[in-house]
Amino acid sequence: MYGRRLFYFFILFSLLFTTIPGVIWAGPYDLNLIDTPKTYTSYKGELHFDFTMYDRGGIFGSAALSVSDYAFLGVYFDVGQMIGSEEMEWEQPGVLARFLVSDGSRFFPPLAIGYSYFGKGKTSKINGDTVSGFYVVSSLRYYLFGFDQGLSYGFRYPIMPLDFSKPENFSLFLGTDISFSPSFGVKGEIENFYFSEDRWDEIFYNFSFDFFVAEFISFSLEFKYSPSIDRVVRSLRIGYMTQF
């Protein structure tokens, strides 16, 4: 019941502010929110690196190169217990891809399709494996705190691991990033929303504080909560962008 109320509140809060017009995206250098994608595909020649440190010394990293203004390709990797004295847990690297179908300049809203991981860290894994698959994401714009902000929403279908690739694991997500200044912002998202009410305890409510210490470097303190694990998971993300 508590999780359901949070979900409805988040939807109402987000939809309220999407009625206010805006012209550009919040967090222009971010390809994703926390665990969910945005429609943004960057500019040709931009290279994005992200490293997330999660519980028990694990590191989740990714690199994505924008091959055009409308698409990027990349890879991600996950090494559990990389920091510490325990044996490292190596996972097979995965693929990242996103293609912008519509930039929102005509009749359709911004819309992108892609392939990516569905979560970072141990709590997002299924039987010890990182979940990845296809997604469709769209965006809305709104104006708040003197900046243009963005709301992202869409759905995901898992492909890996293979025994999790089932229609009942089709899920929805919703999130927003809010800039308060050029150097500080927050993000919030809801992911793993399934159509079956019996699985609503598997929903994740994620939140982060973002700090931009230089033009192309960012730090994020991320917090994730799900009734299924009944605790707050904390992680640190470092992002870097460069250009060819």
Q: What is the pLDDT of residue 215?
A: 67
Judged against a pLDDT cut of 60, whether residue 17 lies above it is answered with no
* High-pLDDT (> 90) share of the chain, %: 57
Residue 214: pLDDT band (50, 70, 90) is confident
Q: What is the pLDDT of residue 27?
A: 55
Q: What is the pLDDT of residue 13?
A: 38
Residue 244: pLDDT band (50, 70, 90) is confident
Range of the domain at 118: 2-243
User: What are the strands, taking DSSP E only, across the chain?
Assistant: 46-54, 58-68, 71-80, 89-90, 94-102, 111-117, 132-144, 147-160, 171-181, 184-193, 204-214, 217-226, 231-243
Please state the separation of Cα 20 from the chain's center in Å.
24
What is the length of the chain? 244
Looking at residues 145-155, what average pLDDT do you find?
86
Q: Which residue has the higher pLDDT, 179 or 14?
A: 179
Residue 29: pLDDT band (50, 70, 90) is low
| pLDDT tens per residue across span 67-118 | 999 999 999 999 988 888 788 888 889 999 999 999 877 778 899 999 999 9
Q: What is the pLDDT of residue 15?
A: 40
CATH number for the domain that contains residue 215: 2.40.160.40
Half-sphere exposure of 230 (CA within 13 A, CB side): 0
Q: How many domains are contained in the chain?
A: 1
The whole-angstrom separation of Cα 112 and Cα 70 is 9
The contacts of residue 8 (CB under 8 Å, 6+ apart) are none
Looking at residues 155-168, what average pLDDT do you find?
94
Q: Which of 124, 113, 115 is nearest to 60 (CA)?
A: 124
pTM of the full structure: 0.83
